[in-house]
Structure 1
């Protein structure tokens, strides 16, 4: 499980964009977005680097990431 600190998320569209970007890397990934905390929790077998790159490519800078 990964935890990402993501900048720029503010609405449902952002949640959908981040979720779809992660699921493009791993279709079976579970994605939980906490807008007030600007935090994304991902349960995926894909490498952390691939997940963070996908979120950043969707237009949401990843400020920090960790494995939980």
Structure 2
């Protein structure tokens, strides 16, 4: 089950990488972090408490964790393809 994490406190690409690394360190896979939308999406099921602790230890605030719809995951994948291209 994919999850969408709403995050406050990120302000630059360094914050994005720091958040991504924090989530990957707890076993989150296919991590996508969107600075503009202030969120991250992970493709696997990691306990909410672990997610919150990892993001807060990285210095950011978790506002909400919810199940990510297939549509939001697809939109983010397209977003990151545009950045890379």
Q: TM-score, normalised by structure 1?
A: 0.86
The number of equivalent residue pairs is 67
Runs in 1 of length 4+ with deviation above 6 angstroms?
Answer: none
Q: 1:2 touches 1:48 (CA, 8 Å); kept in 2?
A: no
Unmatched segments (≥5 aa) in structure 2: 69-85
> Where does 1:13-52 land on structure 2 (aligned, <5 Å)?
13-26=14-27, 29-52=29-52
Larger radius of gyration: 2
Tell me, what secondary structure is at the counterpart of 2:22?
helix
Q: 2:3 touches 2:45 (CA, 8 Å); kept in 1?
A: no
Note if 1:64 corresponds to 2:59: no
Unmatched segments (≥5 aa) in structure 1: none
Higher normalized strand content (fraction of residues): 1
Higher normalized helix content (fraction of residues): 2
Q: Give me the CA root mean square deviation.
A: 1.3
Q: TM-score, normalised by structure 2?
A: 0.70
Higher RCO (Cα < 8 Å, 6 or more apart): 1
